[in-house]
């Protein structure tokens, strides 16, 4: 059970604060709802009886926030080359409600965007995942949205440069066989 003023995460929507708990009659049924104030002046109603079942949880603390930032600084995890499977896998990570899984999606899709671009669907997913991550880190770190976005972007850029930036490449356009003495044909 959560209380008014608790800072919580609603999977697929992001972090917010419980503004109130109200009794509502919807479709002839009285039920208690958490009224959650989300970023951008959005309010969401979640039935109190189903909140934990649908993955509503308390926001992370300072220690977990540091772990999230460190995930952004790691190399990308393996993803399917098939965009459809990759999209489904990333959607499952986001639906999990785990901030670590969301950070993984943000980093992986950011790397892919820097390397060769994203499809429209994956661009939207990256934007949504980043918004979810930012909303939680803003509350966990007591920082502004701009500060958190800059921190995420900088961390991803540093890790991309470390793990994915083009290294000195060997010129494979030259035919190595030409450098050897040709075989003599003794027929």
- pLDDT on residue 176: 47
- List per-residue pLDDT tens for the chain, 187 residues long: 899 999 999 999 999 999 999 999 989 999 999 999 998 889 999 999 999 999 999 999 999 999 999 999 999 999 888 889 999 999 999 999 999 999 999 999 999 999 988 999 999 999 999 999 999 999 999 999 999 999 999 999 999 999 987 654 445 554 444 444 444 555 5
Q: Considering the domain 7-58 in this protein, what is its CATH number? A: 2.40.10.170
The single-letter DSSP state of residue 123 is H
- pLDDT on residue 75: 94
Residue 140: other Cβ atoms inside 10 A: 22
Q: Which of 6, 34, 11 is nearest to 128 (CA)?
A: 11
Q: Which of 101, 13, 99, 2 is nearest to 50 (CA)?
A: 2
Within 8 A by CB and 6+ apart from 116, the residues are none
- What does each C-alpha distance from 37 to 11, 43, 55, 61 come to in angstroms? 14, 5, 17, 19
Task: Kindly give the interhelix angle for 62-72 and 120-141, rounded to the nearest 10 degrees.
Answer: 150
Overall fold of domain 62-163: Methane Monooxygenase Hydroxylase; Chain G, domain 1 (1.20.58)
- pLDDT on residue 187: 54
Within 8 A by CB and 6+ apart from 147, the residues are 141
How is the chain split into domains, by residue range?
A: 7-58, 62-163
Parallel, antiparallel or unpaired: strands 42-47 and 29-38? antiparallel
CA 145 to chain CA centroid, Å, is: 16
- pLDDT on residue 179: 45
């Amino acid at each position: 059970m959560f209380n008014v003023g608790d800072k919580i995460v609603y999977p697929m929507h992001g972090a917010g604060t419980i503004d109130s708990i109200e009794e509502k009659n919807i479709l002839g049924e009285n039920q208690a709802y958490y009224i959650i104030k989300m970023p951008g002046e959005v309010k969401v109603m979640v039935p109190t009886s189903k909140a934990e079942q649908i993955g509503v949880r308390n926001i992370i603390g300072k220690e977990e926030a540091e772990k999230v930032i460190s995930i952004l600084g790691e190399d990308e995890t393996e993803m399917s080359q098939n965009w459809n499977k990759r999209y489904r896998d990333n959607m499952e990570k986001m639906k999990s409600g785990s901030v670590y899984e969301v950070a993984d999606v943000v980093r992986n899709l950011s790397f892919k965007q820097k390397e060769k671009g994203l499809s429209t669907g994956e661009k939207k997913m990256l934007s949504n995942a980043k918004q979810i991550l930012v909303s939680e880190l803003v509350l966990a770190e007591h920082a502004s949205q701009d500060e958190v976005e800059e921190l995420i972007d900088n961390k991803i850029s540093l890790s991309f440069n470390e793990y994915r930036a083009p290294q000195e490449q060997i010129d494979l356009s030259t035919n190595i066989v030409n450098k050897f003495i040709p075989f003599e044909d003794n027929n």
